[in-house]
Each structure stands twice: as C-alpha cells, then as structure tokens.
C-alpha cells in the first residue's frame, strides 16, 4: 500500500507540476479571445477592402460600358448617315447614267442625220445633177442637130 500511495503521490505531483492553474487558463482564454478578436477585425477589414475594390472595379466597368455604348451609338448614327449618302450617290450615278444615255442617243441621232444629209448632198444630188446634165446635154445635142437647124431656116 505504501508503494501504491507513493505512486499516487508521485502521479499527483506530476499532474500538479504539469497541470495549468486557473490563472494560466484565464490568461490563455484571454489571449485566445484577443487573437479571435484580432482575426475578426482583420477579416472585417479584408472584406471591406475587397468590397471597396469590387465597387471601384464595378464603377470603372460601368463607365467603360457607358463610353462604349456612346461610341457604338455614334458609330451607328455615322453608319446610317453614310448609308443615306451612299443612297444619294447611287441616285446621282443613276441620274448621270440616264443623262449620258440621253446625250449618247441624241449624238447618235445627230450623227445619223448628218450621214443621211451628207448622203443626200454628196451621193443622191450629184447623181440627179449628173442625170440632169446628161438630159441637158442630150437636149442640146438634139437642138444642135442639123435637122433642127434646117427647121430654123425655112
């Protein structure tokens, strides 16, 4: 029993030596609560910083989106204006084409008229004049023939 008692006393001594006192436990609890509070504060600050960064990024993205939207609207307006101008130019080209076609038809008509008149003047009239000249020559010959001279003097 003495041995058992000695073992028990030895073990109790070791436990007392190794065991923490109430003050130690309270100090450890205080340190744990302080660390936990500090961790909460850091976490809260980190969350606030991240939220602020996200707000800043979101605001920047909104501004960029608005800018791009404005640019896109301006480009669409420019394209509409360009399409209208292209339509007007197309109409002008078509009008010009018709005017040139009218001028070409008029020029061809004038050329045809000139050809017909020149054919009349240089081909038909000389032949008619030549025919008349032959008739006149023939008539003169007939008039100059001796039988006609005799008839002049009875």
Closest CA to 99 of 19, 16, 91, 47: 91
- Is 123 strand, coil or helix? helix
Domain ranges of the chain: 21-138
Query: What burial letters (b/e) apply to 13-25, b meaning 16+ CB within 10 Å?
Result: eeeeeeeeeeeee
pTM of the shown model: 0.46
Rounded distance between C-alpha atoms, residue 126 and residue 133, angstroms: 10
Q: Render each residue's pLDDT in the chain as its tens digit; 154 residues.
A: 788 888 888 888 877 777 667 888 888 899 999 999 999 999 999 999 999 999 999 999 999 999 999 999 999 999 999 999 999 999 999 999 999 999 999 999 999 999 998 888 887 677 777 778 788 888 877 776 655 444 544 4
Alpha helices in the chain (DSSP H): 2-18, 22-119, 125-144, 146-152
């Amino acid at each position: 029993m003495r041995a058992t008692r000695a073992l028990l006393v030895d073990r109790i001594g070791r436990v007392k030596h190794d065991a923490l006192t109430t003050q130690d436990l309270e100090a450890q609890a205080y340190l744990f609560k302080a660390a936990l509070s500090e961790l909460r504060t850091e976490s809260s600050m980190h969350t606030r910083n991240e939220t602020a960064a996200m707000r800043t990024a979101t605001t920047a993205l909104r501004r960029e989106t608005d800018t791009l939207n404005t640019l896109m609207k301006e480009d669409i307006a420019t394209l509409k204006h360009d399409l209208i101008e292209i339509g007007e130019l197309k109409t002008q080209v078509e009008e010009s084409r018709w005017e040139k076609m009218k001028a070409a038809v008029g020029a061809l008509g004038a050329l045809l008229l000139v050809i017909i008149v020149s054919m009349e003047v240089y081909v038909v009239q000389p032949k008619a004049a030549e025919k008349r000249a032959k008739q006149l020559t023939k008539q003169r010959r007939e008039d100059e023939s001796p039988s006609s001279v005799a008839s002049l003097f009875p």
